[in-house]
Structure 1
């Protein structure tokens, strides 16, 4: 599996390097579609902007979808302040507590991209005696532009306006010990895993028993990514998303997580059982967990009225929606579970 693992990490880093806060995902979607096409698959970008890929397989009336998402958290300019700095509104569940002091890129509609830093108002601890006591929130945080501006008018002259997208630096790093650290591993790590699985199927010349699609959605972080474009004949859908790591849960970054239940309720009993059986038979390092605060694309697919069996797996990811961390072991276990379960 090593060549496919190397490819997964390469593609994960490539996708992470493309800014794609939810609502601003066209560049990432085009890249992913192009990589599937390089592997020899037909990839379609839907009207909504997602990527739908035909993987192949025999039984068309009992098809399966594997879904991941390439949209991430981010921000949007909601106000240009009198001092020229920017007040933001979050895109998705971006939390200002763990985004403080992060570098950002402001994507204007017509005048290019500018850089800045997301800071607390009056961020100098030598000046602000309330620095330590201030609760970080969107109403007391701002983007300080890396431009010579001192007024709202100065910033507007740059072409920056309300509604512009603000992208946070992912700071991707893979350590010698195999840890993968970056913002937005949720869910670009799984996009890499699905590309690696597609490469594995193609190069090993494997024909699946059931027809398969890969579906890379673009609005998961705001709750409607998987609500449309499910092909006819699909009876099962599995979200390949991040596995939760934290207090009270079993999963570590070295494992593949199988979710039995999230905030929306239990996953399909037979699918969860089948995933566990495949993991046990292959002697994979896995955990089964109940996620306390979580929703996935397949939850949304069910809510949209599609009649499917549903499941959720993913490589264990620590510090979700912050500066996240996983490990090559978790990636490999996730890939091997897909190979074993879907064959």
Structure 2
């Protein structure tokens, strides 16, 4: 039995409970110690355990008698930074796997965290420093890379490959045999039916793939991505006629409603004004009946200002937009048939 388990990142209460459950079922540590770099948490308690201090507390710990777990899961970028910081102290990382999870026939690295009700299929591989949260599923033969996070109730179907530091949001489903690139983010509630490139984000049902910005550093959360796909540097230069001006006013009014704000800069970037992934979805849904156009969430990301979006909606061919959506639906049906 080791002297101590150090849990780093006390904002994750479920992780603390998992450690207590594991140690209660099969005692491995004489004590469990909480560490966090937020000074306001020092001296407070979580599930009866006191937060002893910052992560630098590990500097005085005997590496031969202790183990450590990184509980940071909000983003894969944040998790990687925490992993690097913790690792510099030389305390060995260990796994936390709920005793009710069946791992027979699976290959799991030595520092993986798997929460209750997760399912790991036969011949699945879970890479180092990866996390399967409550109810997550890694199907038969799935390959999950290093530092990935699979959020609650997400389903990684058979033979799916997740690149390193990919993030899969809550309740998302990835169809069999697909490849999700390193640093990619799968939004919550998505159904993914095509490969997702490295560093990209997929969202929606069926999922649409959005390219990352040129300076994108994968972080595993939609808000943290700050996605702003390519759009004209001067969107107003392409706007012509009163029709576009009217649509621009409608878009701005809808944005004010969605954000619950007062007056907004009509030319401001939606995401700098307060939009996030959920607000973008709400904005698209709000605009459809107002404009009589099938505005998609991907359009909000592609044209993230009122002038740019108005220009797109007035200059674009409605038939072409309909064709684009029909092609996406046809491709989804083809993919589903091929995997039946």
Using the size of structure 2 for normalisation, the TM-score is 0.25
Max radius of gyration: which structure?
A: 2
Using the size of structure 1 for normalisation, the TM-score is 0.25
User: Which structure: greater helix fraction?
Assistant: 2
User: Which structure: greater strand fraction?
Assistant: 1
